[in-house]
Amino acid sequence: MLLNILRSYRDLPRNIHMLFLLEFNLSLIHVAFILILNIYLRKQGFTDPEIASFNSLRFIGALAFALPLGIYIRGKRLKPFFKLAAVIVPVTSAMIIESIHFSIVPLIQLSFICWGIGMMLMRVCSLPFIIRNTTSENSTEALSLSAGTWSLATIFSGLIISGLDWISFLNVSKWTISFNEQGILWIITIIGMGAIGFVVKMNEKDLQEDDKRVDIFSLHRTYDWKLIFKAISPLILISIGAGLTIPFVNLFFNSIFGFTSSEYSLLGSFTALLVFMFSLLVPTLRKKYGYWMTIVVVQVLAIICLVVMAMTEMYTSYSYAVIIAVGAYILRQPLMHMAHPASNELMMNYVGKNNQELISALSSSLWSASWFFSAKIFEWLRLLDYRYFEIFLITAFLYVLGVVMYAFLIREYEQGQKKHSDRVLPIADELTID
């Protein structure tokens, strides 16, 4: 069974493998920022509200440009946009690192905005690129592999961070390289620059002529907005909830349990290993048990784990609280991430081929918008002295609403598929009709 699963990923088209390596390199940078950038900011004297404000800015560019980009790329080659992403992300990452070091607030703000634009280019274009380069038989594998890049990048980023932190410093001739947060982020940024090499190896085919133009003045007729709105609604709730928690989990473990950058990164690496392994199983589980198991059930279990983790803040005087928090976090991550490939596939299948580029752009845009507002809400709640567990419980509530909406969406999609199959005559009947 395991060999068959691995073979299904090996046999994916070469373009999908190149996309995987591109996403992996850029995700190395992204993950490193998620793991230790907030702690780096805190060490440089920035407060939680200020950190939340900076984090919110990386979503502004995506919010402004994701939707127009999704409309523009319909029927166009996607390789040029991947090239831009491969250049923008490392360059702006370097700008963020140095502007924080010198406490140049306007440059920090500008760099976060531009960094967000670079990541947006990759995200908006990834889903349409996968759909264009796969068939219905292997699209789930491709989507799972794409989702798995985040986990794999987390493993490597976490190990690099922990390893370099353990080494502490390195003497090279007359130079001393310190492996603090600044130095580590620089090293991972340089590694991530390798992304451009994989973009160059992508080979896109010419698209059909009739897919190449969209009249911006007739968008209401070009796309099925009713389907799009239904498909995107659960994602909005999930993303708002995620934005209140995911970017700030490191602050939770640092503030409540005293985790260092190295300790949290090591935890992230181990968790990501489980996420990656579970992600590889998604196509098999989806084909065997359907969307209910791979979206609804696993997310409900993830929500329970989030609530358990959050409540440990109230019991920090007990030694076992940190063990429970870590255990809940380790279980939550793979469970929640397992749903992403299946929910993306459901969304793309539900809206149909004509709406796929736009739904990809909308999902990126709305995710960015949600995380922007969530970061602002987190900033506001922390200013009002809300505790971490109270904020995380809000996330759990929003997750529950999102999962309920996914359940309705799955039921409607499956009923539509059943009606469609019922209208298709069996071959034997077709032969006797004449």
What homologous superfamily does CATH list for 15-204+222-422? MFS general substrate transporter like domains (1.20.1250.20)
- C-alpha distances in Å from residue 360, one per residue of 52, 171, 382, 433: 26, 47, 32, 42
Which residue do the tokens 């922990």 mark?
162
Is the distance from CB of 222 to CB of 215 less than 8 angstroms? yes
Whole-number Å distance between alpha carbons of 339 and 292? 10
Whole-number Å distance between alpha carbons of 62 and 364? 7
Residue-wise DSSP of 152-169: HHHHHHHHHHHHHHHH-E
Name the E strands within 352-398: none
User: Can you give the pLDDT of all 434 residues of the chain as single tens digits?
Assistant: 567 767 777 888 899 999 999 999 999 999 888 888 888 998 899 988 888 888 888 877 777 787 788 778 877 889 999 999 999 999 999 999 999 999 999 999 999 999 989 988 888 888 788 888 888 778 778 877 887 787 788 888 888 888 887 877 777 666 777 788 888 999 999 999 999 999 999 988 766 544 445 555 455 566 777 888 888 889 889 988 988 888 888 889 988 998 887 788 888 888 878 887 877 777 777 778 888 888 899 999 999 999 999 999 999 888 899 999 999 999 998 888 878 778 888 888 888 777 766 776 677 677 767 777 888 888 899 888 899 999 999 999 999 999 999 999 998 888 877 766 554 434 333 333 22
Which residue do the tokens 């140049």 mark?
104
Ordered by start, the domain boundaries in the chain are 15-204+222-422
Residue-wise DSSP of 346-362: HHHHHH-GGGHHHHHHH
Whole-number Å distance between alpha carbons of 45 and 66? 33
